[in-house]
Amino acid sequence: MTYEEYKSSKNKIKPSSEKKSVLKTLLNKLFTIIIFCMLVIIISNHSPKFKSFIVDKVLNSTMDFSFVNKLINKTTSVFENKSNDTVPVSKEITESVKYKDGIKYIISENEKILVKDSGIVTFIGEKEGYKNTIIVQQSNGYYAWYGNVKESIKLYDYVEKGTEIGTASDEYYYVLLKDDKPVRLDEN
């Protein structure tokens, strides 16, 4: 075998070895991720402080889903809001007054509460001054708080405009936020 034949046979083998190299790199990264996740699980089982840190900073943090909606709407019209009309959150509102950062609605007993705009439920729990609160990150980037509501949905559910999210007795609170700042609402 001449040097030229040896060199050309080396070049023929190289693409196959490159594929193995890419596969090996991918497997190494996957293995690293698995080991990291296992370490996080093991440490969080033995350290209450680390576990609460993971729960607070990773699991309870709110992801901004509106950027995904905007990206999808640029390429397709799957989640596009065809009309800007919003639905009333309740059919039987007898009175509304300004309350903290939003509006307090006086309603009839066990009134169904409806979502004003489509979005993803990002929080269900107690909020000071608003009692049991459901927070929906709307597809337009706003966050809607529905306070004093007994929920009939689950965390991370996608809810369409007009969907019942729960019931309220006598009163409920509605707050709309954009960039963590309250949006002024009319009391209608």
Model confidence over 161-187: pLDDT tens digits?
A: 888 898 888 888 899 988 888 887 664
What's the confidence (pLDDT) of residue 62?
Answer: 57
Q: Which residues contact 174 (CB under 8 A, 6 or more apart)?
A: 89, 102, 103, 105, 116, 144, 145, 146, 147, 185
* CATH homologous superfamily of 93-182: Glucose Permease (Domain IIA) (2.70.70.10)
Q: pTM, whole model, 2 decimals?
A: 0.55
Show me where the domains of the chain are located: 3-59, 93-182
Model confidence over 105-158: pLDDT tens digits?
A: 888 778 888 888 888 999 999 988 888 999 999 888 889 999 989 988 998 889
